[in-house]
């Protein structure tokens, strides 16, 4: 059994795998990391291998506890062996979460042109071609970040939670914000997908991340929406490194 840990900007997610099957997952706040880690170790003594991807800021105490609890844990970074060719020209600045997403694409959609859209704190677009080459993608503000920025960088605009408006024309300030943010993001995603479809044949599109469910309601069929794609990628990287 494997334990995979995704320490993101907002939450930390744990996943326990038996082979390629996800048996259990849990999302927590960073303050609960040590307690959760010890509990998982206690209730799952059969865990054999551990990998962690961290784009957030794990405390030194949390890292120390992880190393103490799982001394052979693999800390994912740009030197970790990958099941694809990384063509990114600045690999040292590439987020490890994006590496995990591309690994999941390599596992689930081998030899296929695949665009992975991760709708989290940021929206990331990552593309792997049918030669198993990761070419790069794009980084944009996430859904909540867009709402937050309108509030933070203006004097009078309110801070709203995500919502799809009834119409494409906002007739009041709140509706106008929802049109600009929620509907605007949908148009952005559709535009990016269209751009890739015009260049690459037989494109597979994956939508994942915390806002995937919300956004998928307004995107056409044919897009795979999955909440555990990054965990699956981490598990694949772990297996790839422990069997080499």
Do residues 206 and 106 touch, judged by C-beta distance below 8 A?
Answer: no
* Residues with catalytic roles: 97
Do residues 173 and 83 touch, judged by C-beta distance below 8 A?
Answer: no
> How far is CA 106 from its chain centroid?
15
Report how far apart, in Å, the C-alpha atoms of 103 and of each of 61, 134, 191, 198, 242 are.
Answer: 29, 9, 24, 24, 15
Do residues 16 and 23 touch, judged by C-beta distance below 8 A?
Answer: yes
Q: DSSP labels for 227-240? A: SSHHHHHHHHHHHH
């Amino acid at each position: 059994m494997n334990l995979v840990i995704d320490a993101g900007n907002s939450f930390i997610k744990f996943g326990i795998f038996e082979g390629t099957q996800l048996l259990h997952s849990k999302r927590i706040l960073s303050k609960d990391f040590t307690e959760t880690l010890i509990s998982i170790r206690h209730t799952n003594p059969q865990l054999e291998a551990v990998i962690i991807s961290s784009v957030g800021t794990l405390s030194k105490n949390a890292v120390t506890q992880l190393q103490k609890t799982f001394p052979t844990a693999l800390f994912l970074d740009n030197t970790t062996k990958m099941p694809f060719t990384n063509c990114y020209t600045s690999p040292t600045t590439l987020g490890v979460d994006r590496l995990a997403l591309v690994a999941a694409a390599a596992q689930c959609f081998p030899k296929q042109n695949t665009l992975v859209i991760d709708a989290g704190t940021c929206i990331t677009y990552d593309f792997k071609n049918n030669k198993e080459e990761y070419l790069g993608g794009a980084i944009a503000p996430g859904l909540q970040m867009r709402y937050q920025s309108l509030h933070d960088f203006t004097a009078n605009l309110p801070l709203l939670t995500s919502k799809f408006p009834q119409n494409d024309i906002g007739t009041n300030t709140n509706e106008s914000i929802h049109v600009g943010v929620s509907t605007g993001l949908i148009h952005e995603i559709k535009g990016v997908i269209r751009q890739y479809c015009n260049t690459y044949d037989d494109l597979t599109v994956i939508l994942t991340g915390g806002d995937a469910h919300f956004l998928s309601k307004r995107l056409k069929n044919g897009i795979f929406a999955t909440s555990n794609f990054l965990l699956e990628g981490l598990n694949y990287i772990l297996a790839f490194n422990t069997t080499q």
